Amino acid sequence: MVVIIVLIILLATSGGSGTHTPTTAAKSTPAKTTHTAAKPKHTTAAAQVLALSLKPTAPIYVCLIGDNGRKLIPGLELQAGESTPTYHAKHFEITLGNNSVTMYIDGRPRSVPSSTAAVGYSITKARGRRTLSASQLPTCK
């Protein structure tokens, strides 16, 4: 008799069919919680990584340094019409011989202002693209 009363109460509070609603709730609630808990960790790590590629419009000297001082473009002259691969790192430092290039940072085109000397940048997610002084320019020698 007590079992029947408990079943009636459960059916009444579940809003109808006892098997459909709890199954749906059980599937969506843990998945949502797990997804939400895992997503910030993945997003935080992924949010720090930048994507960078270059498209020269004329010959240009490029020295590109990635994480841990790794030379991604080791002081080469790139030609107009070439495209570099897309590089991924948390931090880039770059020296450009002139402004004949479009930089694609996370897919967004960025131009380089005209200059009579080499131009350099430090690029991170947190700080964006910061101009380097002549003494801070990376070298690939």
Q: 54 falls in which pLDDT band (50, 70, 90)?
A: very high
CB 71 within 8 A of CB 49: no
**Is the pLDDT assigned to residue 62 strictly greater than 50?**
yes
What is the residue-averaged pLDDT of the chain? 81
Kindly report the pTM of this predicted structure. 0.67
pLDDT digits (tens, 9 = 90+) for 6-29: 556 655 555 544 444 444 444 444
